[in-house]
Amino acid sequence: MTPRLPALRASLAALLLTGVTGCGAADGGVRVQGPAPSSIPWSGPVYALDWESQPLVRPELMDLTNYSVLDHMTWHGWGSPRATATGWVILLDCSTTCPAQPPSYRVTIAFAGLAKRQYAAYYSWAAVLPAHGPAPVWAEDVSRVPLHVPAR
């Protein structure tokens, strides 16, 4: 029985060697076949970070920039690639001639550019357009404002 053991080992080694070298495509690389996996729709929470990086969901009030505040916002499509709202922009940068009530005007707001992170997604920019006619001359340009997004 002992003479068969070396022959058995040699056969096993040859089989293993053939199996290892037989992996992969004929040209030595890996061959990919079949359709690509379909994308999976996002299902986690979606936030917008305000000027001070506070995470907000469907905010009614939000510091958009250091001088402009969005107020009385009513949202549609939050969590989709483009969320829209109507509301007001209030200008906080007044000189000594500022009226008792800070100036404001009615706007349409869009948040877009979803940036997906580990457990959440964040809108990466906002566009604010006047609801009626051009923006007042005193208004800050908020037609496209980058929003804060966490690095990871």
On whether residue 25 sits in a domain, the answer given is no
On whether residue 32 sits in a domain, the answer given is no
For residue 135, pLDDT over 60 is answered with: yes
Determine the average pLDDT of the residues in 30-48.
Answer: 73
**Range list of H helices, 4-152:** 4-21
So what's the pLDDT on residue 84?
98
On whether residue 115 sits in a domain, the answer given is yes
In this structure, what is the dihedral angle of CA atoms 7, 9, 11, 17, given to the nearest 10 degrees? Answer: -150
Q: How is residue 54 annotated by DSSP?
A: -
So what's the pLDDT on residue 102?
81
On whether residue 53 sits in a domain, the answer given is yes
On whether residue 10 sits in a domain, the answer given is no
For residue 20, pLDDT over 60 is answered with: no
Where does the pLDDT of residue 49 fall: very low under 50, low under 70, confident under 90, or very high at 90 and above?
very high
So what's the pLDDT on residue 93?
75
Listed ranges 87-91, 100-104, 140-144; the one with the highest mean pLDDT: 87-91
Determine the average pLDDT of the residues in 135-141.
Answer: 84
On whether residue 11 sits in a domain, the answer given is no
CB neighbours of 105 closer than 8 A, spacing ≥ 6? 88, 89, 130, 131, 135, 136, 139
For residue 132, pLDDT over 80 is answered with: yes
Burial (0-12, 13-18, 19+ Cβ within 10 Å), 14: exposed
CB neighbours of 31 closer than 8 A, spacing ≥ 6? 24, 25
So what's the pLDDT on residue 65?
92
Where does the pLDDT of residue 121 fall: very low under 50, low under 70, confident under 90, or very high at 90 and above?
very high
Name the domain count of the chain. Answer: 1
Phi, psi for residue 6 in degrees, rounded to 5: -65, -35
Lowest mean pLDDT segment, chosen from 28-32, 80-84, 130-134, 147-151: 28-32
Distance CA 68, CA 92 (A): 6
Determine the average pLDDT of the residues in 22-39.
Answer: 62
On whether residue 1 sits in a domain, the answer given is no
Name which residue leads in pLDDT, 133 or 45: 45
On whether residue 80 sits in a domain, the answer given is yes
Q: Which domain holds residue 64?
A: 46-146
Q: How far is CA 15 from CA 2, 5, 24, 62, 129, in A?
A: 21, 15, 17, 69, 71
